[in-house]
Structure 1
C-alpha cells in the first residue's frame, strides 16, 4: 500500500506503508496506575457559526469517542485543553460537554476542568473576582456528578502579585470541593498567558508554592498533573509529594518512562496524546499490568516520536494533529475543528504525522487512512497516488 507524501518544498515522495496496527486490548482499572485520556471534541461542520459566536459541537460523534475511551478502560479528562478549552470551546460549551458525558457514561471515571475562563479580562478587578469565578465553575461541575480538575487560571496569573495570592486562591477553591481533585500545572508552552504560574520566576520557587498548597490541603487533593514537558522536573516533584497524593504525568514527550517509573515511584497518566494513542495506551498498560514491562516499552516507546511531532512548537496547536488522526482513524466523518483550527498546521506536518503514525502502528485501518489523507491532499492540489 503506497501513497505520495508532500514535503516542505512541495515535492512528493512515494511512501510504502507498514500497515501493522497495534493490537486491541482493554486496560484493567484495577491496576495501580490511573490512566486518563484528555479527549477532543468533534465540531459540527453544518451549523453556521461566525467569529465571536459560540462554537457548535457534534454531540453524537463527541460522545461516541468517549464511549470508545471508556470501553478501553481509560478515564476521561473532560473539557480540558485537548477539547480546545479557551481555543474554541467556551465555558458554556464546556459545561454542556461535561453534563452530556456524565449522562452518557454515568459509571465512567470522569474528571472535568473547572477554571475561570468565563471571566472577561475587562471585568477583572481583583483576586475576589478570581475566587468567585473558580467557585462558580467548581460548583457547576460538581452538580453534574463529575470529579474536578482544578485548571490553571489566566485571570489568577494576571491579578496575583505574589505566591501568597496563589496560596489564598487555591485554598479558597479547594475548600469548596466535595471530593479530592486533580490540580493542573500547565506550562507556558501550552498557554503563554500562564508564564510565571504559582508566582515564581523559576521552577524551584513555583514548585515550593505548589507543594505548600498541596500540603495545606492534602485531604482535598487526589493528585497533580504537570504539563511542563520536562521529565526531570516531574520526577523531582513526584518524590516530594505527600504519600497520598498522586503525580499525573502530562509530559507528552516522556510518558513511557514516567509511567513505567523507577525504584522510587511512578507517575499516573493524564495526557492529551492518549487521545490519538488511546488504543496503544490501553494495550501497553495491559502489558504493564501483566508484568511485561519490556512489552510495555516496545508498544509505547515508538509512539514518542509521533507525540513530539504532534506537540511541536507552537505547542498549543497540538489539537490539530490529534483531530487529524481521529479523522484518519474513522472516529469522525470530517476534518473540521472548532474555530478553524484544522488549518493551524501546514501540509507537510500532516505528511509527517501520517508517516510516523503508520510506523508506530497507530493507524487502525490503514486503507481508510490512506483514502482519507488522499482526499485532504487533493484539497491542496496534490495527487497522493504513488
Structure 2
C-alpha cells in the first residue's frame, strides 16, 4: 500500500486550478464556443453537460490543446497555456474510444506517457504498478487490449492517464461505450479514485444522470455558452433557465398569468399550487414529474390519463389537461402488492406541493423570453465559482 500512498499524494499542493476567460473557438469559420469565464477549482470533479453540438467537447479539447482558440486564454496553476502544444501542458486525457495501442501489452500502454517523458525504467515500472493497482488491474499487465472487456479497457486508459500524475485529468465521455450496468459500476469506481488521489477532473458527458451522480459541480452548456454552473442539487432543484429545467431530468414547463387561484394558462385553464407570485404578472414555472401526485378525486388540476408505462422502479404517466396539453408524471413503484396507477382514459386530479414549483421567470415582461425556450439570458451564471 506504500506505493498507493505515494500516488495519493499527487498532484502537489496548489496544482489543478484552471481559469478560462473570454474563450472562443470554432471550425471553418463557424464559432461553436463562446465562453465568458469558467473557474475550475483544484481537486474538484466538474462535469461539462449538454446536448450534441453545444461545444462541450470543443471546450475540453481547447483545455487539452487539441483545438486552438480564436480568442481568450486558459490558465492552469497560474501559467497561461493557451499557446502551448498539448505535450507541454502536462494534462491527462481519457478519450471516448480509449485509444489503446492494440499491439502493446496493458503495462506498455500504461507506460507510454512515461516513456515519452523519458523516465528511467525503474521509475516507469513502479508507476505502472501503482496505476494498475489503483484501477484494480494488477494481474492484467501482460495482456493485450483485445483480451480485455470494455470496462477493463476503460480502466487501462484511466491508468495510463493517471500514471503521469497530471494535475488535471480530462475525460471525454469515457463511459459511453459501456453497457448500462457496467457504466453504473464505473461511475462509482471513477469517483472513488478521484477522491483518493485528489486530481482535478473535467468530465464531458451528455448523460444527465451521470453528471449528477459524479460531480462536485455541473456546467450545463447550450449553444457554446454555459447556461448554469452549480452543484448537482442546485442545477436540478433550482434551474436558472427553461433549457436547464428541461435538459436536466425532465420538467413540465407552464406559462401564464398569475391569478388569485393560481396560474391562468389561457383557454379557461388555471393550475393551482403555486408559490407567492404577484397577481397579474406573467410567469413561467416548472414542475418535476416525480413531484406530481395523482388521485381520482380532490383538489387540483383535472385531466385524463392518456398513457401509462411501467419502467421498473417507476410508472410514467401522461395526463391530458382540458386544453389538450400534457403533464408528464412519474410515480414510484411501491411493490408487487400495490395497486397500479390509473390507466388510460381514467379521469384524475393532479396536485403538487407549492414548494416543489420552480419559478423560472416572473414579471411583466417574462412572457416574451419564455416563449422562445432558448434560455438566452443565463450567460451570467458562467462566472460563478
TM score, norm. by length of structure 2: 0.35
State which structure, 1 or 2, has the greater radius of gyration over its C-alpha atoms.
2
* Greater length-normalized contact order (CA 8 Å, ≥ 6 residues apart): 1
Larger fraction in strand: 2
